[in-house]
Chain A
Amino acid sequence: EVQLVQSGAEVKKAGESLKISCKASGYNFPNYWIGWVRQMPGKGLEWVGIIYPPDSDARYGSSFEGQVTISADKSITTAYLQWSSLQASDTAIYYCARPFMAGGVIVRIDYWGQGTLVTVSS
């Protein structure tokens, strides 16, 4: 059974750094892209970015380029989303997601994590 288990809720202050995690199991981790989807309060979903674990090739949504860093550790089948300096506008639920890719594009999301609530106070 494929599982994406995310780290717990975080409460931070603006300017602080943060790294949240997504532990994958039940499949061959290097064979699939893995990524993050943001849901701001009362809003819809938005791709943060995805990463291919074998070579750490990362692609970011246009709103997130230069704002966050996505990484993956193949040895412990875990993906990460990291901020160096949080802003209040980063307050959101972040979902780990395993997309199915075809021809270099995302076709669908087969599996999701349960979400990590990040709250940033100003």
Chain B
Amino acid sequence: QSALTQPPSASGSPGQSVTISCTGISSDVGGYSYVSWYQHNPGKAPKLLIYEVSKRPSGVPDRFSASKSGNTASLTVSGLQAEDEADYYCSSNAGSNNLGVFGGGTKLTVL
């Protein structure tokens, strides 16, 4: 069982928006601003999508946005495209004596 809870699957039609949640506790997601999100196509290297809750690295489309409220972080993909079909993982810092925790991943299907 992963430390952070994500729904195993999510789906949407092209052009629609979908939101993926990531629930932790006060000593990880709720306690820090170091929540990040990764996109992973199996067989390839994962890619950083979001860091520090809501910041996008250069090159990541602004269709990807994220936020946090309490112990739950959320990733929203707007204007879904076929190329967005992938696995998405959240991660959070969990204190100075911990390397950090990940979610179990959400498989996003573009219908």
Does B48 count as interface, using CB distance less than 8 angstroms? Answer: yes
A-B contact count (CB 8 A): 72
With A4-B45, A107-B93, A115-B45 in contact, is A43–B104 under 8 Å at CB? Answer: yes
Interface residues on chain B, number (Cβ under 8 Å)? 26
Q: Mark B97-109, 1 if CB is under 8 A from A, else 0.
A: 0111011110000
Residue in A60, A106, A110, A112 whose CB lies within 8 Å of B93: A106
Residue in B38, B43, B44, B98 whose CB lies within 8 Å of A109: B38
Query: In the complex, which residues of chain A have a beta carbon less than 8 angstroms from the beta carbon of B102?
Result: 37, 44-47
- B29-79 interface with A by 8 A CB criterion: 34, 36, 38, 43-48, 51-52, 57
User: What secondary structure prevails in chain A residues at the interface with B?
Assistant: strand
B interface residues (Cβ-Cβ under 8 A, vs A): 2, 6, 34, 36, 38, 43-48, 51-52, 57, 89, 91, 93, 95-96, 98-100, 102-105
User: What secondary structure prevails in chain B residues at the interface with A?
Assistant: loop
Return the chain B residue nearest A104 by Cβ. B96
Contact B96 A108 (CB under 8 A): no
Contact A112 B52 (CB under 8 A): no
Contact A109 B48 (CB under 8 A): yes
Bound Cα distance A100, B93 (Å): 12
What are 18 A-B interface contacts by the 8 Å CB criterion?
A43-B2, A43-B104, A44-B2, A44-B89, A45-B91, A46-B102, A62-B98, A95-B46, A100-B51, A102-B34, A104-B96, A105-B95, A105-B100, A106-B99, A108-B48, A108-B51, A112-B38, A112-B47
Q: Mark A7-50, 1 if CB is under 8 A from B, else 0.
A: 00000000000000000000000000001010000011111011
Return the chain A residue nearest B100 by Cβ. A106
Contact A105 B46 (CB under 8 A): no
Query: In the complex, which residues of chain B have a beta carbon less than 8 angstroms from the beta carbon of A43?
Result: 2, 104
Contact A45 B89 (CB under 8 A): yes
Query: In the complex, which residues of chain B have a beta carbon less than 8 angstroms from the beta carbon of A49?
Result: 99
